[in-house]
Homo-oligomer: A and B are copies of this chain.
Amino acid sequence: ETSGHSLLLFGFQNVQSGNVLILPGEFSHWHNMRVIVEELVERNHSVTVLVSTASTTVKYAKEEGFRFQFISVPIEESDFRAMWDKLIDVWMQYPNSSILETVSRGWTLMDSLSTYPSVFCKSMLNETNLGTLRQSKFDVVLFDPFTPCGDLLADMLDVPFIVVMKLFFGYSLERICGQMPSTPSYTPTQPVHFTDRMNFQERVQNFLQYIFHTLMFFAVMHVQMQNIYTDIKGEPPLMCEPFGKADIWLMRSYWDWDYPRPFPPNFVFIGGHHCKPPKPLPKDMEQFVQSSGDDGIVVFSLGTIIKNITLEKRNTIASALGQIPQKVLWGFIGEKPEYLAPNTKIYDWIPQNDLLGHPKTKAFISHGGSNGIYEAIFHGVPIVGIPLFGDQFENILFMKNKGAAVMLDFFEMDTKDMVEALRSVINDPSYKKNMMRISELHHDQPTKPLDRASFWIEFVMRNKGAKHLRVQAHNLSWFQYYCLDVAVFLLAVVGLFIFIMVKTCCFCMRKCCWRNRRKNKKE
């Protein structure tokens, strides 16, 4: 009997306590998903993280505020790790390896890459697991699409779901299953060698890359998923079924560090959601940092996925680090270099975000993983980038093009290159200034990325989806989507019209001629 306004407030209405199921990715993908998990726990939701017993990254720890539920897979953790190592190996494109080597590496990889998803999905979606999961009555499923079958899991549990990702190869998943418009003429795609201002030659290359990624999506991703889904459900799924039903796409990027492009209303950009103001450092680390004086420090990490670096490369790097006046904190688990200058300390683990937020930090040497880059953006620290694989090249390239980074080639660089790069980034104020400009854009948003993510997760829970943000393109086939059926029909109508006109004219002309001829004859 009352009007609505008094009951309704804008934003951040919490559901009492939601029940969230998370299917995370490995390595850095888990690190940033974990920030969302912790925020949801903070907001009084019950969170269950579903994880394979073979996972190398997602480990049970007693003190967490959330539950782990393990999927028992017939794969050893070491074999799973070996698969990742192989994948990285192929991806790293060693300059001295022959094409034959790369192909043979790729071949052995394809084998495990095609086995693992099937084994994982069948284990996860067996009746026992599904039964247990159904009993939990989840309100929403969040998953990383690099872990397979998250969409099928949500669909079989009959729960709305949210995708969390940065980007898929050539935006193929976003375009084909998310209905993000295709924009090859002004959005560069992998491998990105240029910005969004492309000349003709670059646009040709980019166009071919879109086609390649689209074909690969249909030929590999779709076929593989179709096989697995058919095995599990007994019938082949339609294209993008059930993936296309995703209510919200939480994209781990934003226009501070991505080329602007149009997107549907259910895409929410949360780039940098994992970044936080710095916490105090451990005591001994803080002492080491303070000992740097006015010169300040350099933070150095090539990520957690790479363990093996040749001794030669380690020595090259160590020697370069020894030649700058800054103190260097190097996070690295592998074998140490032979010689380490007194200004450099190696740690098994560094609190990267806290270090980058430290006022003494002058530069960040990074492989260009997106978590690290966003932390550097958040804290405004210029970058010396040494990309290794995947999207790291384009990540660093973007920062280089904005004048906020120097890029080095991991395989080609020598000590001198690295010293020069560090000196430029630290001493030339333009790098800091350009990085601060990006940092300002990052901080100048109407809401914080993590709040945005939480809002939409809670929205999906309290509204049982977000149907009003879903474009109807999801219900069209590709030829309907591009109006090809309409175009063919209209062309046919126009063609028929012209045909009839021409025929009629001809008929009239003939009649006319015939009469004239008769007249002429008579005369």
Contacts and interface: CB of A to CB of B under 8 A. Distances in A.
A203 B439 contact: no
Q: Which of A203, A468, A480, A490 has the most CB of B within 10 A?
A: A468
A459 interface: yes
B443 A183 contact: no
Q: How many copies does the complex hold?
A: 2
Given A261-B471, A357-B3, A446-B451, A439 B8 contact: yes
B260 A263 contact: no
Contacts of A183: 181, 471, 473
A8 B272 CA distance: 14
A203 B487 CA distance: 10
Nearest to A493: B204
B3 A361 contact: yes
Contacts of A486: 184-185, 200, 203-204, 207
Interface string A436-465: 100111011111100110011001001100
Interface string A335-369: 00000000000000000000011110100000000
A262 B259 contact: no
Given A186-B472, A446-B11, A380 B262 contact: no
A440 B8 contact: yes
A483 interface: yes
A483 B447 contact: no
A213 B261 CA distance: 24
A490 B277 CA distance: 50
A359 B203 contact: no
A183 to B, nearest CB: 7
Main secondary structure of the interface of A (DSSP, over half): loop
A128 interface: no
Contacts of A482: 185
A185 B436 contact: no
A263 B361 CA distance: 39
A74 interface: no
Nearest to A294: B1
A93 B452 CA distance: 46
A17 B276 CA distance: 30
Nearest to A378: B5
A471 B186 contact: yes
A4 interface: yes
Given A203-B480, A255-B469, A447-B446, A380 B264 contact: no
A381 B204 contact: no
B262 A443 contact: no
A356 B4 CA distance: 10
A2 interface: yes
A181 B476 CA distance: 17
Q: Which of A9, A208, A440, A469 has the most CB of B within 10 A?
A: A440
Contact of A196 (B203, B472, B481): B472
A375 to B, nearest CB: 10
B481 A186 contact: yes
Interface in A142-174: none
A197 B475 contact: yes
Contacts of A203: 480, 483, 485-486
A196 B10 CA distance: 27
Contacts of A9: 443
A262 B471 contact: yes
A379 interface: yes
Q: Which of A185, A361, A440 has the most CB of B within 10 A?
A: A185
Given A1-B359, A255-B469, 10 more contacts: A180-B262, A184-B483, A185-B476, A187-B472, A196-B471, A203-B480, A260-B264, A260-B470, A262-B265, A447-B447
6 contacts: A4-B443, A5-B277, A11-B448, A179-B262, A186-B476, A441-B463
